[in-house]
Structure 1
Amino acid sequence: QIVQITSMGVPVVDISPPPPPPVLDSFPELASADPTPILGQPVVEQVADAAPTALEVLQAATTESSLAELGLGAYTPVGLIQNLLEFAHVNLGLPWWGAIVAGTVFARLVVFPVIVKGQREAAKLNNVLPEMTKLTNRMNEAKQSGNKFEFAKAYSELNLFQKKYDVNPLRGFLVPLVQAPIFMSFFIALRKMAYLPVPSLMTGGVLWFPDLTIADPFYILPLFVTGTMFFIVELGAESGVDNPNLRTMKTVFRIMPFVILPFTINFPTAVFTYWLTSNCFSLCQVAVLKHPAIRSRLKIPEKIQHPTSALPQNEGFIESMKKGWKNAQSAQKLEERERRIKNHLDLAAKGPLRQTFTHNPLQQTPPIALAKDKDAGSKARPWKDTLG
């Protein structure tokens, strides 16, 4: 308030509003309004601009971090599996359990042609197994007796037989060599995602396992996985080769699911979701590939049921592996010897004639000198350079 004294000596109180603050001089548009709201208006507008809306808060809460932001999804086999699962979850809109199931089925469909190839090879090998067994036994007997000529003959006949019928026992390892890396990649990828953990995996399950990052609280998935593995061994073994030497391996595979159950029972449910889906796909695959019309369509030969006497005797898997390794070593030595003989013959055909006798028959030699030369020649054996 400003007090003024008039000419009559009566004080007059000036109740006019005070002038605006100097800071408003630079904002002439604000000086014409009421000072009280003017002073609070810029602060309220700044606060309103800085504060997020309810929609923005909801969107920020529901936005998932990508696997790349979490340090996953590289260009390794494990990272490619993680990228596949993320694509099914984000782009296709599937929940995590559905993405795992879809990714598993997709991977198994990709390797299905390899499975069909393995079935063809197993059927062809089964149909010619008795003849191959006879040739193999001949080769083993010749090796044990030390008859290298007979061993070479049996080995050559076996090779010609395999080429004639287009069979090779090593092709039976094609399916495990393809399936094992895929299984390990899925296993490591899902375990990394669960142990990190990926936040959305905690609510990406279904039924009694909503959290895919922890173990199954009721142990239902581990038991289902163990049971399906056992049935796969029982049913899948019939599509292979009826070889008694593989009975020991089949027995090991039968008890393997129960042996590994205590070690895998606490795995995250994300891993068991993949494992159970893969096992169910294998059971359906075995049932489909047993149908005669489908086997004919896929050009898989029909299996011939051989009598027991025509099959190889049960020597045990380990003994068979040892015998096969020794046969391979003997065959390698024989091939090396044949290669050396061929090289010497090629040198003899291209170069000058080599002397393979101890003396020149055109020259007259005294009897005593001839006897000495004969003894020296028997020790020298110059033909060893040719035969090796």
Structure 2
Amino acid sequence: MVLSSTVIASGLRFNALRCYGRSLAPQLQSPRHSFARSFSLISSTSPLNRRLGQSYFVLPTRSYTKPAEQTSELAAQATTAEHVTGAATEAITAAEGVTDIVDAASIGDVATPSIAEQTADLIPAALQYGDMAAMGLASWTPAGIIQWSMELINVSTGLPWFYTLIAGSLFWRIILVPVAIKGLQNSARLLPLQPQILASQEEMKKIRESGDKLALQKHALKMRKMYKDAGVSLGASALAPFAQLPVALGLFFGVRKMCQLPVPQLQQSGLEFLPDLTVPDPYMVLPLALCAAVNLQIVVGAKELNMKERPEMGHIMNGLRFLSVAGIWVMAGLPSGLMVSLLTTAIATTVQSLALQWAPLRRYFGIPIVSESVRGRLPSPLQTVHYLTDMYKQRVAEAAAMQKRQTKPKRR
């Protein structure tokens, strides 16, 4: 009899869920974006749900109860039939217990736990065009434009998100190639002129101290003519860093915001060893690889600097190398998706620098080939330590000499 009552209860539950199964489907509702597509698998506790201020699960308030007359009929039969055996009495009692359970519990109380348990194990639907805007990500800021480009790449190609982040980072690196070539042309043309530029800067400093405005104007015209004869565009040299900065910052902040679970699809990267791109790399492989890539990028890019007349540039590069090693623990807390984007950008920049140092390619783009004797070499970390120590001692000596001159008594 226990088995019979269990079968009855199971049948009632199954029929109730089957009748109301379609009306229990979770819907994504966005009051700000009418074109938002329904996500079938987003938890009601997500950051986007809290931002919109409403629940994603729209459940019906109807209840499923057994008619009262059926209950009373069963009770009448049980009281008037005195010849019923003890087994029949147990069956009626079990049926009344099942009816009471169905009458007491609404369909929402029965179905809600099962829906919540099922959504935790299912995979979010694939991203479609317009979903980024529905999540409040895509906009006309640098980060928003980069997020929109990631959506276009993912929707149009169907790539997993691991490869989508790589393709998007490479795309924006390719966009900046003309800017990098123009900046490299100017810097290569300025390298042989570094001694004259340093001498002109010292001369301009003396003229400013003298206060001769006419001599200052003449010297400025002289410098402009020197740059023009060398084929150097001062405007392009000044704008090159400002053109690359919005893209670099946009990639960092745009991808980081995507990984902070506005985009649930990033939890399915498409790779077994890195399944979730919204969490840090537990094996520390990506932070170590990024540190190595940044150091290689600095070593390769330092070949384009003039460290013979400007030795401080080499020590600045060594300082950046030290910061990259010290920043491993900071990078270990960043999402894996952001680390994949940064690692792709660092590797692409290194490959670009190596390619633009190839003599045939430099001649094709009109980049002067400068000998290594003019550039100098990157100092070792020990040389940088000695340089900083000597500079500190020099500053201390200068401060002591200035204090001695100020405290020296004046002769009457």
Q: How far, CA to CA, are the matches of 1:117 and 1:82 in structure 2?
A: 27
TM-fit CA distance, 1:205 = 4.8
TM-fit CA distance, 1:305 = 5.0
Residue 63 of structure 1: aligned partner: 125
1:349-360 pair list within 5 angstroms? none
Residue 172 of structure 2: aligned partner: 107
Residue 137 of structure 1: aligned partner: 202
TM-fit CA distance, 1:230 = 1.1
Q: How far, CA to CA, are the matches of 2:299 and 2:352 in structure 1?
A: 14
Residue 127 of structure 1: aligned partner: 192
Q: How far, CA to CA, are the matches of 1:124 and 1:71 in structure 2?
A: 46
The answer to whether residue 350 in structure 2 is matched with residue 283 in structure 1 is: yes
* Count of aligned pairs between the two proteins: 264
Unaligned runs of 5+ in 1: 1-46, 54-58, 310-314, 320-388
In structure 2, relative to structure 1, the CA distance for the partners of 1:206 and 1:154 (3 Å cut) is: same
TM-fit CA distance, 1:217 = 0.2
The answer to whether residue 145 in structure 2 is matched with residue 80 in structure 1 is: yes
What amino acid sits opposite 1:282 in the alignment?
T
Unaligned runs of 5+ in 2: 1-16, 24-38, 42-123, 377-386, 392-412
Q: How far, CA to CA, are the matches of 2:233 and 2:316 in structure 1?
A: 20
In structure 2, relative to structure 1, the CA distance for the partners of 1:176 and 1:307 (3 Å cut) is: closer
Q: How far, CA to CA, are the matches of 1:115 and 1:308 in structure 2?
A: 19
Residue 318 of structure 2: aligned partner: 251
Query: Do 1:205 and 1:212's aligned partners in 2 also have CA atoms closer than 8 Å?
Result: no
TM-fit CA distance, 1:135 = 2.4
Residue 191 of structure 1: aligned partner: 256
Q: How far, CA to CA, are the matches of 1:127 and 1:304 in structure 2?
A: 9
Q: How far, CA to CA, are the matches of 2:240 and 2:215 in structure 1?
A: 35
The answer to whether residue 154 in structure 2 is matched with residue 89 in structure 1 is: yes
1:326-337 pair list within 5 angstroms? none
The answer to whether residue 275 in structure 2 is matched with residue 227 in structure 1 is: no
Residue 274 of structure 2: SS of its match in structure 1?
A: coil
- Of 219, 226, 236 in structure 2, the residue corresponding to residue 161 of structure 1 is 226
Query: Given the two structures, how large is their TM-score scaled by the length of structure 2?
Result: 0.57
Residue 67 of structure 1: SS of its match in structure 2?
A: helix
TM-fit CA distance, 1:259 = 3.1
Residue 363 of structure 2: aligned partner: 296
Q: How far, CA to CA, are the matches of 2:305 and 2:220 in structure 1?
A: 25
Query: Do 1:114 and 1:175's aligned partners in 2 also have CA atoms closer than 8 Å?
Result: yes
1:40-51 pair list within 5 angstroms? none
Bigger Rg, which one:
1
TM-fit CA distance, 1:89 = 1.5
Percent identity reads 26
Residue 245 of structure 2: aligned partner: 180
TM-fit CA distance, 1:151 = 5.0
Bigger mean CA offset, 290-299 vs 143-152:
143-152
Per-residue Cα deviation, 1:170-211 (whole angstroms, up to 9, x for no partner): 754444322221121111122112213422111115242210
Query: Do 1:138 and 1:151's aligned partners in 2 also have CA atoms closer than 8 Å?
Result: no
What amino acid sits opposite 2:125 in the alignment?
T
Residue 213 of structure 1: aligned partner: 278
In structure 2, relative to structure 1, the CA distance for the partners of 1:225 and 1:130 (3 Å cut) is: same
The answer to whether residue 335 in structure 2 is matched with residue 268 in structure 1 is: yes
Q: What is the Cα-based RMSD across aligned positions, in Å?
A: 3.4
What amino acid sits opposite 2:247 in the alignment?
I
Bigger mean CA offset, 178-187 vs 164-173:
164-173
Residue 397 of structure 2: aligned partner: none
Query: Do 2:305 and 2:375's aligned partners in 1 also have CA atoms closer than 8 Å?
Result: no
What amino acid sits opposite 1:294 in the alignment?
L
Query: Given the two structures, how large is their TM-score scaled by the length of structure 1?
Result: 0.60
